[in-house]
Amino acid sequence: MVLLKLNNVIKDYLLGKVVVSAVKGVSFFIRKGDFVSIAGPSGSGKSTILNMIGLIDVPTGGSIVLEGISLTSLNDKELTRLRHEMIGFVFQSFNLIPVLTVRENIEFPLLLGEKAKITPEKREYVDYLAKEVGLQDHKKHRPNELSGGQRQRVAIARALVTQPKIVLADEPTANLDSVTGTAILDLMKKVNSDLGTTFIFSTHDATIVGLANHVLRLKDGLIIEDFRRGA
């Protein structure tokens, strides 16, 4: 089942008076439950594509369709709502709220939607996620009391708390050592298998690419390879 479809997507930036083309017309689709790696060197456009899929940036041209909804015609309010309901983010620098505890950081997205209410069921789910990412004993800690790996685990739990269709991870292991990075990827893979959540992450690490079942390789804003393992 196709979850996401990009058709001839272009993204131009204005750098002073110069137009810079970050993405030069890419087309691909992603199925529900895919574990997707967008790989490529720096400046290839992988983060730009990830941002457009995550609804935090808009394409200059082309179209993006998410679960049958065309994203190009949505206004900021609608994009915000859709982002909250369908997308989870795992940032390279974790981007946790420094003044909130682990538990509060995980449940934070639940307070952002239109029906911002934490029910007992949601609270249980927060506890479940904290346990899943191995932080059940650190729920009252602040981010500055955690290691890099622990922080990224919190970020993963936070990305999953709204039960999104897609989790986007922009170089999630870039700031982690190799052991912790591998553990984080294992965790993502486990969630992907257990919950069926679609993961799309950008990376230029060949080891990580090896875990993905759908690999998109980019160079200079164009897709140079799009293959599915086992397809």
Partner 1 sequence: MLFKLALRNILLHKNKTLVLGLVIGIGLFVLVVGNSFLDSATKGIEKTYTGSFTSHLAVVPDQGADLPMFAASPSSANGTSVIPSYSELDTFIESLPDVESATPQLDSRAAIQFQENPISITLIFGIDPEKYKKVFPDNLDLIQGSFLKPGQDGILLSESALQALKDVGAPHNIGDQVTLSARNDISGTKIHSVALRGVIRFRSANVFLSRISLCDAGTVQYLTGVNGKVSDASETDESAAAEENPEAAFESSTSLIAPTQKHGSSFDLLNLSLKAAPLPDSTAPAPASDAWTYLLIRLKNQQDSNQLEKSIQEYLSSHKIEARVQDWLATAGPLAQTAFAIKTIFNWLIVVLGLVALLIVMNTLAISVSERIPEIGTIRALGGSKEFVRALVTWETLLTTLIFGLAGICIGIAALAVMGIVGFHAPNEFLAVILGGRDFRPSLSFDALIQSLLMTFLVGWLASLYPVALATRVPPLRAIQAE
- 108 or 128: CB nearest partner 1: 108
- 48 or 198: CB nearest partner 1: 48
- The neighbour count for residue 85, using CB atoms within 10 Å, is 13
- 51 or 173: CB nearest partner 1: 51
- 188 or 213: CB nearest partner 1: 188
From 122, 9, 12, select the one nearest 66 (Cα to Cα): 9
Q: Does 95 bind partner 1 (CB under 8 A)?
A: yes
Asked if residue 184 lies in contact with residue 219, where contact means CB atoms within 8 angstroms, the answer is: no
Q: Does 74 bind partner 1 (CB under 8 A)?
A: no
Shortest CB 29 distance to partner 1, Å: 24
Q: Does 54 bind partner 1 (CB under 8 A)?
A: yes
CA distance 10 to 222: 10
- 87 or 215: CB nearest partner 1: 87
Q: Does 77 bind partner 1 (CB under 8 A)?
A: yes
Q: Does 91 bind partner 1 (CB under 8 A)?
A: yes
Tokens 């895919």 locate to 34
Tokens 């998410």 locate to 66
CA distance 69 to 187: 30
Tokens 């060949």 locate to 206
User: How far, in Å, are 30, 71, 87, 93, 120 from residue 1 at the CA level?
Assistant: 8, 18, 18, 32, 33
Segment holding 160, helix H or strand E: helix 148-160
From 138, 110, 112, 143, select the one nearest 124 (Cα to Cα): 110
Interface with partner 1: number of residues (CB under 8 A): 32
HEC-encoded secondary structure of 101-138: CHHHHHHHHHHCCCCCCCCHHHHHHHHHHHHHCCCCCC
Q: Does 5 bind partner 1 (CB under 8 A)?
A: no
- 85 or 186: CB nearest partner 1: 85
Shortest CB 196 distance to partner 1, Å: 21
- Given 99, 140, 177, 229, the residue binding partner 1 (CB under 8 A): 99
Q: Which residues, numbered 119-158, are part of the site for partner 1 (CB under 8 A)?
A: 158
Contacts with partner 1 by CB under 8 A lie at 47, 51, 54-57, 76-77, 80-81, 83-85, 87, 89, 91-93, 95, 97-100, 104, 108-109, 111-113, 158, 162, 170
